[in-house]
Structure 1
Amino acid sequence: MQLIPYIAKHTQLPEKGISNTVALLNEDCTVPFISRYRKERTGNLDEVQIGAIVTFKSQFEALEKRKATIIKTLEEQEVLSKELGEKINQAEDLITLEDLYLPFKKSKKTKAETARKNGLEPLAKIIMAQRSDGLEKIALRFLNDAVQNEDQALEGARHIIAEWINERTDIRNQLRFQLDRFAQITTKVIPTKKEEEKAQKFRDYFDWSESLGRCPSHRLLAILRAENEGFIRVKIEIDNDRALKKIEERILKSNNACTIQLKEAIQDAYKRLLFPSLSNETLKKAKEKADDSAIEVFSKNLKQLLLGAPLGEKRILAIDPGFRTGCKVVCLSEQGDLEHNETIYPHAPQNDSKGAIKKISSLTDAYKIDAIAIGNGTASRETEQLIKRIHFRNPIEVFVVNEAGASIYSASKIARDEFPNYDVTVRGAVSIGRRLADPLAELVKIDPKSIGVGQYQHDVDQNKLKISLDSVVESCVNSVGVNINTASVPLLSYVSGIGPKLAENIVAYRNEKGAFESREAIKNVPRLGSKAFEQGAAFLRIKNAKNLLDDSAVHPESYSVVESMAKDMGKSVSDLIGNKSLLQGIELQRYCTSNIGLFTLKDIVQELEKPGLDRREKAKVFTFNQNIRSINDLQPGQLLPGIVNNITNFGCFVDIGIKESGLIHVSNLADAFVKDVNEHVSLHQQVIVKVLDIDIPRKRIQLKLHK
């Protein structure tokens, strides 16, 4: 199997596009760069399709690496036949490959290996032939110092036969089929753990059974978490009699003394070798599928969160609210720089609301504040109500900002490097304010797992999760573009072709030499070579640059094309920018070359119409129901405004302005069947919900989406 056909089989994409994409990947091109600036070579494949090629390319390479290891091992053992070598080379997945290798694995001492050393393999072959009735007499020939009697001889032979049965690919695949179709996952609570407080969140699974194939990903991950935490035991079960019968049909060919021994060997192989191994494999596959589903949910949420509406370059007063320790207040410039910080104590136990109002009022005047950002944690509602009592001289918008992960950022090395002379409370308040200004620029500083929009993110394959989330962050950063003169190191590190080290070099160069005046000047950054410039330049923006194209998504390699368009029309480049009528009149075919085709030319014209346009919406003020301050204020039937703050496969969670978020179960999103939650709601969407049920002891709120 070759790489390109392998990818084509799994993706159903054209082989030419796959081949060219693989070539670009091998040239160290990034997915954002390929999807945006190499459309002619890929056949206009998008980021998702190119991402699939990356995934299956990695799978193929891992498979080939494993094949090479196995072949080398078999050659060293001098057991590699031509036929086996061909089967290994033709294997298209790891399961098939490992089945082929199974008979040759050097494992720990087994019962079968002991029996072989005791000279019982010929007896095992006689039994497998199923042609002898005088088995007892034949078994006597194999007695020795290690094999004392006929029963020991037959038992050893059965151990060898059981191993042969376990190694047969057809039998393993038949049992896999049984497990895939009919496996049940069952759970039992561990009696000594049943009453523990931490166990109560898993009480639905104290005595549970359902089809493994139909078990939703979120439920399977919850069950496995409960098992990992020691509250339940999990078993995979199928109809053992049916499974044994299927194996017997493949082995038994007569009805004599050998048949009795073979039936015992089959039962031994099934119970001791086949079922434990393949049931674990089946559960592992189900877990991997659940992981993929959870990671997909997390990735979709993260993308929506990162592309959340920014307020833009405004002067912001940010508040990290609290009771006993007070509310930390910071004032930020339009660029997010910290200009002032202090603490106010409007709530219990100090209750200095008058002093707090006076201080906030004076700070908004002194620092010409445009907007106020309040973290949505402890004392958020009380602080919001306090702020709304203030009569400001100028109109000031008040926003409640999701602060999930702010504490992670404030204690991180990134925060310490940014604010070495301030404590975590100041850093946390700065993060809240910056999130309002630009969620993307601030959230990239936090490990995506800690942002709080996932589904069992700590239970899934962490390497897979990191690869997926890093890809999402990279996609979002490059789709928006980055102002190179204000971007932080973490933000720059996600720009196509840049990475952490070059990001540090860019900021160091900027601090030493001043702001970049052109994209061409980026080449002066130490160790930023031609490849990094090619990959990253078009995603880096230069505001107020002499060349207006430097603040657009037009790649520098295409500047000459734009200049030719303008020259042919007797215009300047600046005349073209934003002039839709002029741009629509360009005959694009005239500018096609061997490297630039209609895909790229259409993108250029679209970009020139609105250069550097931020695809994100603008932040909007939202107000919760002021009469609902805790779960105790809720009543069934109430209609409340809320904001979607997390999406899962089983529904979405909505912030209704209290500590506990409410759940809109998938069945309450619409009157019809809901296949994908994301088709009905999006993260940060403002919605109206109806309260269905309140479980105060378990702090659970059931909601329905109100149309």
Structure 2
Amino acid sequence: MQILNYIIGHIQLPEKSVKNTLELLNEDCTIPFISRYRKERTGNLDEVQIGEIVKFKEQFEALEKRKKVILKALGEQDVLSPELHQKVESAQDLTSLEDLYLPFKKSRKTKAEKARQNGLEPLAKIIMSQNANDLESIGYRYVKGGVASIDDAFEGARHIIAEWINERTDIRNNIRHQLERYAMISTKVVKTKESEENAQKFQDYFDWEESLSRIPSHRLLAILRAEKEGFIRVKIEIDNERALDKIENRIIRSNNECADQIELAIKDAYKRLLLPSLSNEALQIAKEKADESAISVFAKNLKQLLLGSPLGEQRVLAIDPGFRTGCKVVCLDAQGQLLYNETIYPHPPKNDITGAMKKISSLADAYKTQAIAIGNGTASRETEALIRRIRFKNDIKVFVVSEAGASIYSASKIAREEFPNYDVTVRGAVSIGRRLQDPLAELVKIDAKSIGVGQYQHDVDQTKLQKSLESVVENCVNAVGVNINTASKSLLSYVSGIGPKLAENIFNHRDENGPFSSRKEISKVPRLGNKAFEQGAAFLRIKGAKNPLDDSAVHPESYSVVTKMAKDIGKSINSLIGNPETLKNIDLKKYRTDTIGLPTLKDIMKELEKPGLDIREQAKVFTFNQNIKTINDLREGQLLPGIVNNITNFGCFVDVGIKESGLIHVSNLSDSFVKDVNEHVHLHQQIIVKVLAVDIPRKRIQLKLHK
């Protein structure tokens, strides 16, 4: 089986596009580089389509690796016939491959193996022939050695037959089909744990039944978590009589004593071997689909969060609010460097409101603060109210910033390296301020699973989750581009072709030699070879470079094309940039080559029109309803401003300015059917919501999107 045919069989993409993409991947090209700078070879595939090719490439490689292991094992057992070899080589997926290998697996001692050792396999074959007369007389011949009675003889023979039935691919596939179409998942509470406090969040699933094929991913993951924590028991069921009839119709073709024994063997095989194994497999497949759905939601949320609106290079005063321990205050310059830190105590128990207001006012004046960032955790609303009472000399914008994951960052190795002489509280406040300046640059320092978007991130396949999230971070970083002279090691490590080691080398080279003045200088970084330069250079920006293309997304390999364009119309490169009227006079067809086609030329023109344009929106000031301070202040029918702070398959959660987030269920996002929540809202979107219901004891708020 060829990899190209395998991938094309799974995704609807042109053969040439897949073939060329595979060649580029085998040349160690990255997804961001391929999607942005090799459009001619891929047929203009985007990063999602290339990611799908990568996924199926890895699946194919895993399948081929497993085939080699199985073929070697079968060869060592001396059972590898030409027919079996062909079947193994032709297997299209791991399930059918493992079914082929099942009869030859070296397993623990089974009932069937014990029966064989007692010499009962010939009796099993006689029964399966279904044409023996006087089966009882035949059975007595096998009552010897370890077989004490004729009942034992027939029972042992049935164990062997049950194993044969279990190993039949057609029977396994038939039951798989029934599980896929008709399986029901049901749950029952574990009575001894029903009253436990932690069990109450799962009370909806104490007695539940639903079609396995239709259960939403979030509900399945919740059920499996409840089972893992020991609060419920989960069962997968189908119509047993229907399943048994299907097996009997495939095997029994007589109406004698042999048929009676086979019928008993079928029931044993189904109950003891087939159903437990295949129902677990069905549940695992459902879990994998739920994982995929949850990871997809997580990835979409993370992308929206990373591409959140930056304030840009402005001077920020950041506050990590608190009551007893005070509010940690830091002043940052426009590049996010820490200039000053202090602690104020405006809230109980000290209540130094006057002193705190004076301090904030004087710091804002001294450090020419342009914006204030307040963490959205404990004492956030109280701190925001305090700040809004201060009469600043200049117009200072006030933002409430998500601090999810800030504590993870503040205790991390990265934070210790950045601020070795400051404690975790100062580092956390700095992170809050930098998130306002540039969310992407700051959030890449934190494990994506700790940022606080998505659901059930600890219940899904951790390897797949990590891979998906790293891909999202990489794509976002490269979509925005990176200022090589100000970027952290964490941010640099996600640039196409760079990675952690080269990021450290770039950082150290910058530290020792000063800022980079051109992209050419990047190649002087130790161990940064031609391949890494090719993959990463266009995503690294040089602000104020002599060559203006060094601060653009134009790849260095295309600089000569731009130079020729400028020369042909008698202009300098500088006069082309940001000048749409001049660019209109350029006939792109004149500059096509064997490697550069219209897709790349059009990208170059877009970049020349607005070089280094940030694809992100500018940060906007937002104010919550100041009269709503706790869940007790909410009333049905109220219209409130809110910010979307999490998105799931069943709706989105909204911060309305209190500790508890409200839920807009998918049914309350629109009057029409909602296929994808992300088509109606996006993370950090500022919206108006209507309060539908408030459950104070359970701390649940139901909301509706107000159009």
TM-score band w.r.t. shorter chain: over 0.9
Task: Look up the match of 1:248.
Answer: 248
The aligned residue for residue 354 of structure 2 is 354
1:61 corresponds to 2:90: no
Q: How does 1:20-419 map to 2 (within 5 A)?
A: 20-419=20-419
Amino acid at match of 1:528: L
- CA deviations over 1:146-191 (Å, ceiling 9, x no partner): 1122111111100000000000000000000110111110001111
Pairwise CA distance, 1:340: 0.2
TM-score, length of structure 2 as denominator length: 1.00
**Displacement, 1:369?**
0.4
Q: Could you list the per-position Cα deviations for residues 227-247 of structure 1 after superposition, in whole angstroms to 9, with x for gaps in the alignment?
A: 011110101011111111111
Residue 608 of structure 1 corresponds to: 608
Aligned to 1:553: 553
CA distance in 1, matches of 2:323, 2:260: 77
Which residue matches 2:471? 471
Q: CA deviation at 1:30?
A: 0.1
Q: What per-residue deviation string (whole Å, max 9, x for no partner) do you get for residues 372-413 of structure 1? A: 000000000000000000000000000000111100100111
Q: CA deviation at 1:575?
A: 1.0
| Residue aligned with 1:213, SS | coil
1:533-563, CA deviations, whole angstroms, 9 ceiling, x for partnerless residues?
Answer: 0000000000000000000000000000000
* Counterpart secondary structure, 1:329: strand
Q: CA deviation at 1:585?
A: 2.0
**Whole-angstrom CA distance in 2 between matches of 1:587 and 1:125:** 81
Report the aligned-residue RMSD: 0.6
> Number of residues paired by the alignment?
707
CA deviations 1:492-514 (Å, max 9, x no partner) are 00000000010011111101100
Structure 2 residue aligned with 1:3: 3
Question: For residue 232 of structure 2, what is the amino acid of its counterpart?
Answer: I
Aligned to 2:583: 583
Q: Distance in 2 between matches of 1:21 and 1:452?
A: 34
Letter matched to residue 195 of structure 2: E
Q: Could you tell me how far apart the structure 1 residues matched to 2:55 and 2:230 are?
A: 35
Aligned-partner SS, 1:652: strand
TM-superposed CA distance for 1:133, in Å, is 2.8
Amino acid in the other structure paired with 2:228: N
Bigger drift between 499-508 and 145-154 goes to: 145-154
Post-superposition offset of 1:143: 2.1
Structure 1 SS opposite 2:704: strand
Deviation at 1:122, TM superposition (A): 0.7
Q: Which amino acid aligns with 2:270?
A: Y
Structure 1 residue 425: deviation in Å?
A: 0.3
Equivalent-residue separation in structure 1 for 2:468 and 2:629 (angstroms): 38
Secondary structure of the structure 1 residue equivalent to 2:389? coil
Q: Which amino acid aligns with 1:212?
A: L
Q: Deviations 1:293-313 (Å, cap 9, x if unpaired)? A: 000000000000000000000
Amino acid at match of 1:283: L
Gapped runs of 5+ residues in structure 1? none
Superposed CA offset, 1:15-40 (max 9, x none): 11111101110111000000000011
TM-score (norm 1): 1.00
Q: Shift of the alpha carbon at 1:140?
A: 1.2
Supply the distance in 2 between the matched residues of 1:471 and 1:159 (Cα, whole angstroms): 50
Q: What is the distance in 1 between the residues matched to 2:183 and 2:642?
A: 41
Partner residue, 1:617: 617
Tell me, what secondary structure is at the counterpart of 1:635?
coil
For residues 633-644 of structure 1, what are the structure 2 equivalents within 5 Å?
633-644=633-644
Indicate yes or no: 2:18 matched with 1:18: yes
Q: Distance between the aligned counterparts of 1:62 and 1:338, measured in 2?
A: 48
Amino-acid identity (%): 76
Q: Which amino acid aligns with 2:641?
A: P
Aligned residue in 2 for 1:569? 569
Ranges of 4+ aligned residues in structure 1 off by more than 2 Å: none
Amino acid across the alignment from 2:446: I
Structure 1 counterpart of 2:7, one-letter code: I
Whole-angstrom distance in 2 between the partners of 1:482 and 1:149: 80
Which sits farther off after the overlay, 112-121 or 284-293? 112-121
Amino acid at match of 1:555: H
1:677 match: 677
CA positional deviation for 1:584: 2.1
CA distance in 1, matches of 2:53, 2:618: 34
In 1, Cα distance between the equivalents of 2:585 and 2:458? 54
Q: Hey, what's the Cα distance between the residues in 2 that align with 1:73 and 1:280? A: 26
Runs of at least 5 residues in structure 2 that lack an aligned partner in the other structure: none
Question: Which amino acid in structure 1 is aligned with residue 191 of structure 2?
Answer: P
Look up the SS of the partner of 2:79 in the other structure.
Answer: coil
List per-residue Cα deviations over 1:193-232 (Å, max 9, x = no partner): 1111111100000010111111000000000000011110
Greater shift after overlay, 247-256 or 577-586? Answer: 577-586
Helix, strand or coil for the counterpart of 1:179?
helix
SS at match of 2:301: helix
